Amino acid sequence: MEKFGFSISKGRQINYDSNDRRVAEFIIENEPSFRLCIACGCCSASCTAGSFTRFSLRELNILISRGENDLPRNDLKKCMLCGKCTLVCPRGVNTRNVVFLAKQAFRKFDSYAI
């Protein structure tokens, strides 16, 4: 491909059908309140970790439920489990358990530990 000086760009499109949603399903099964998220962003706004780095639980929730696991897999490690998000969530999502389960799910489904 060198001879052309360019390659075929990868799309940014989420392909819902081919994505791996096991992590999302695992979380929903063990923490049904996961479904209740309306992406208001309170969690991200109050997040302790989020004040130091790019880390948005709101975003991760969406990505996980779409089966876009790459960013969450590594980003989840940034969470300090401090629990502020759980306190501010207007929908009563048990956000700490969501993070906890997500990590567990990645351990479970990934070949390598997160």
Partner 1 sequence: MEAAGRLAKSGFHVTLLEKETSAGGHLNDWYKLFPDRRDSSEVKRYLDDLMSSEQINFLTSTTIEKIESKGSSYSLMTNNGENLNADSIIVATGFDLFKSSRKEEYGYGIYDNVITSADLEGMFRKGKIVLHDNTTPKIIGIVHCVGSRDEKVGNLYCSKLCCVTAVKQAIEIREHLPESKVFCFYMDMRMGGAYYEELYREAQEKWGVNFIRGKVSEASENIDGKLIVKVEDTLAGRPLKMEIDLLILMAGMEISEGSKKLAEISGLNTGENRFFEAIDNHYGSNISNLPGVFYAGTCTAPMNITETISHARAAVSEVQDYLKNGKS
Partner 2 sequence: MNIEGKKVIWKDYQKEIADDRFYYVRSCVRQNFFPGSETAFLRIMRDVLGKDVYEHPCHTTCTGIGYHGDIVPVETTMTVVARQFSLMNEAGYENLLPSCITSFGLYTEILDTWHHFPEVEEKIRKQLKKATGREFTVPKNLAHASDVIYKFRKEIAAKAKYKLINKNTGEPLRVVDHIGCHYAKMFPSKGVGGAEYPYVLAGMVEEWGGQVIDYPERRHCCGFGFRQYLVQANRGFSIACSKEKFESMQPFKPDMIITNCPGCPMFLDRWQYVINEIEGKRYGKNGEGIPVFTYEEVAGLVLGYDPWDLGLQMHQTDCEPVLEKMGIEYSPEDKFNLYADKKSELHNSFVKA
Partner 3 sequence: MTVMQFDPFVIPFNIGLNFILIYCIVRCIIWFRDLSRADKLRLQRGFFGYAFGQSLKEIFLESLIHRKILKTNFRLGYMHMSLAFGWFLLIFFGTLETDIFGTKHLNAPYKAIFFKFFNPTLGRTGFEHAYSFLMDLILAFILSGLLLAIIKRFSSRIVGMKKTTKLKLRDRIALTSLWLIFPSRLLAESFTSGTYGTGSFLTGTLGSWFASFLPTHQLAYPFWCLYSLSLGTFFILLPITRYMHIPTELFLIFMRNSGIRTGDKSGSYSEVQTFTCSSCGICIDKCQLNFSAGITNVQSAYFMKAIRSNDDVFNIAHNCLMCGRCDQACPVGIELMPIRMIQRREGDDDKDMRSIWKGFLRNRQNPLPVKTPELPSFGYLPERKFRKADVLYFAGCMTHLTPGIKNSMQKIFRASGENYYFIDEDGGVCCGRPLMLAGQDREARELINFNSEIIWKSGAHTLVTSCPICYKIFNESYHLGVEVLHHSQYIKRLIDEGTVRLKYSHMKVVYHNPCELGRGSGIYDEPVSVLAHVANLQKTEYDGKNSLCCGGSLANLKLESHERAKIAKDTVSELTKCKPDILATACPLCKKTLANATDTKVSDIAEIVAGEISEIQKKKSRISILNIKELADISWSE
Binding site for partner 3 (CB under 8 A): 30, 33, 46, 48-49, 51-53, 77-78, 80-84, 87-88, 92, 94, 96-97, 100, 104, 107-108, 112-114
Over the window 32 to 71, marking each residue x when it contacts partner 1 by CB under 8 A and - when it does not, the resulting string is xx-xx-xx------------------xx--xx-xx-x---
Residue type, 16: Y
Per the CB < 8 A criterion, the answer to whether 106 and 76 are in contact is yes
Residue 3 binding partner per list partner 2, partner 3, partner 1, none, with a CB distance cut-off of 5 to 8 Å that depends on partner kind: partner 2
Per the CB < 8 A criterion, the answer to whether 68 and 14 are in contact is yes
Distance, in Å, from the CA atom of 89 to the CA atom of 46, rounded to the nearest integer, reads: 10
Residue 21 lies near partner 1 (rule: CB under 8 A): no
C-beta of 8 vs 113, nearer to partner 2: 8
Residue type, 86: T
Question: Would you tell me how many other CB atoms lie within 10 Å of the CB of residue 14?
Answer: 13
Distance, in Å, from the CA atom of 112 to the CA atom of 114, rounded to the nearest integer, reads: 6
Residue 45 binding partner per list partner 3, partner 1, partner 2, none, with a CB distance cut-off of 5 to 8 Å that depends on partner kind: none
Binding site for partner 2 (CB under 8 A): 1, 3-11
